[in-house]
Amino acid sequence: MTTTKPMLILIAGPYRSGTDGDPQAMAANLARLESAAWPIFAAGHIPMIGEWVALPVLSSAGAGPSDPLAEQVLYPTAARLLERCDAVLRLPGNSAGADQDVAIAERRGLPVYHDIGEIPAVEGQRG
C-alpha cells in the first residue's frame, strides 16, 4: 500500500497517564512515543508528537508537565496540531489525551492507524 504525498502524522499515546507525575515515567513514555518517529519518517512521512511542541511552550512559561498550566497547554496543543495533521497513529495504553486526539481526528475524517504497519509508504520510500 502506497501514497503519493507525505502525511504529517500525530503520534498519540500515554505521556502523563499512569505516571503520578514521575518525571522518569513521563520520559519513558515520551521515548516510547518517539520510537514510532523513525518508522514513520522512513516511510516518507513527517512524524509529530504534541509534547515536542507543548513542553517547550510550558518551559517558556516557567512551567512543566505536572504544573496546573499543563492542562491549558498539552491538550490544546494536540488539538491545534490536528488542524494541520493528516493522520494519527494511536499507540497502545490508557490515555485520555490520546483518546481525545483520536476523537478529533475521526471528526475531521482523518485516518487513525493503530499499528505502524498500517501506514502506507510514500511511493519510492521504504515502508
Per-residue model confidence as pLDDT tens digits over 63-85:
999 999 999 999 999 999 999 99
| 127 found inside a domain | no
Does the residue 96 lie in any domain? yes
Residue 101's Cβ-side half-sphere holds a number of Cα atoms within 13 Å equal to: 35
pLDDT of 94: 96
Q: Is the pLDDT of residue 89 over 60?
A: yes
Q: What is the Cα gyration radius of the chain? A: 15
| CATH value at residue 76 | 3.40.50.10400
Rounded to two decimals, the pTM is 0.94
Total domains in the fold of the chain: 1
pLDDT at 104 over 60: yes
Under the banding of pLDDT at 50, 70 and 90, the label for residue 126 is low
**Average pLDDT of span 88-111:** 97
> Would 112 be classed as within a structural domain?
yes
pLDDT confidence of residue 4: 82
Q: Is residue 61 part of a domain?
A: yes
Give dist(CA 24, CA 127) in Å, integer.
32
Question: CA–CA separation, 62 vs 64, rounded Å?
Answer: 7
Range of the domain at 46: 2-18+25-122
Whether residue 82 is contained in a domain is answered as yes
